Amino acid sequence: MLCLRNVTYRVDGRRIIERINMRFKEGMTYSILGPNGAGKSTIAYILMGVMKPSEGRVLLDGDDITNLSITERARLGITLLWQEPARYDGITVEKYLTLGGKIKVDKNEMREILELVGLPYELYAHRFVDKSLSGGERKRIELASILMLRPRYAILDEPDSGLDITAGELIENVLEYFRRVGTTVILITHHEEIAAKTDFAYFVCAGRIIKKGFSREIVDYYKKTCGRCFLTGRMEV
Ligand SMILES: Nc1ncnc2c1ncn2[C@@H]1O[C@H](COP(=O)(O)OP(=O)(O)OP(=O)(O)O)[C@@H](O)[C@H]1O
């Protein structure tokens, strides 16, 4: 189980997130839902080791991993889909999808995963992961690379951003695949219809957890309250 325990993150004395406690159980799918500026990406970066908390700890199976680097956490099976996908000039999609370090790559698996993210193998496997790909295509390739890894934990920071009208269906397929292989998903979003697809949700606003529970319940609550807490942290339902 991956946990945040009493995590606070400050910048120049300002609290970006405050005393956050979260638990992500094996094989479950979670969303962290909240408006712009709520602190969602900060939570994702602290889980991944991109940022170190000012206070509090990150625990994996009870072990303190707060001071482990991104690389060390990746070795333990924690991965992050960045909000903005990277580009790697000179590497084909096929090569890129094998960079995760698997000894044996199953071509059929790669084909299935590319199809799952909406990119037919024949059309994309030999394309270069450079600026010739659109933003949406690069995002889909990033998702494919995480699916190929079958990590223990997949932190997906706004996986639907930059995607077209098929985003909802794509996220559903990605979640279904991760459920099948036992990956725990932590999905960051400000779209309630995307959050509704996970099992559980945390509603975060102004750096605090407002409510946690089954996604559908949290989404209903979010719809009633969203917008009223932005920046102020005050909730009036
Ligand atoms: N280094 C920093 N210096 C100053 N403010 C920061 C810094 N990092 C984050 N913040 C502020 O902290 C708040 C939370 O940022 P964060 O990116 O975690 O929000 P978010 O919920 O992911 O937002 P979005 O949905 O817009 O991506 C924002 O108000 C942001 O401006």
pLDDT in tens, 33-82: 999 899 999 999 999 999 999 999 999 999 999 999 999 999 999 999 88
CB 202 within 8 A of CB 22: yes
- Structure-token pair, residue 91: 């590497």
For residue range 155-190, what is the model confidence (pLDDT) as tens digits? 999 998 888 888 899 999 999 999 999 999 999 999
Is the CB of 41 within 6 Å of ligand 1? yes
Q: How far is Cα of residue 87 from the mean position of the Cα atoms in its chain?
A: 19
More confident residue, 132 or 29: 29
CA distance 194 to 34: 12
Can you list the domains of the chain with their CATH numbers? 2-225 (3.40.50.300)
**What pLDDT, on the 0 to 100 scale, is given for residue 90?**
80
- Structure-token pair, residue 188: 């960051």
**What pLDDT, on the 0 to 100 scale, is given for residue 104?**
67
211, 180, 179, 181: which is closest to 198 by C-alpha?
A: 179
Percent of the chain residues past pLDDT 90, beyond the cut: 73
Closest residue (by CA) to atom 7 of ligand 1? Answer: 11
Q: For ligand 1, pick from 10, 40, 46 the residue to mutate: most ligand atoms within 8 Å of CB.
A: 40
pLDDT band at residue 131 using 50, 70 and 90 as cut-offs: confident
Q: What's the mean pLDDT when you consider all of the chain?
A: 90
For residue range 89-110, what is the model confidence (pLDDT) as tens digits? 788 999 888 876 655 677 888 9
Phi and psi at 68, nearest 5°, equal -80, 145
CB 215 within 8 A of CB 191: no
Residue type, 106: D
- pLDDT tops 80 at residue 212: yes
166, 218, 170, 162: which is closest to 30 by C-alpha?
A: 218
Tell me if the pTM is above 0.95. no
Taking the CA of residue 34 as reference, the ligand 1 atom at the shortest distance is 21
Percent of the chain residues past pLDDT 70, beyond the cut: 90
**What pLDDT, on the 0 to 100 scale, is given for residue 55?**
97
pLDDT band at residue 236 using 50, 70 and 90 as cut-offs: very low
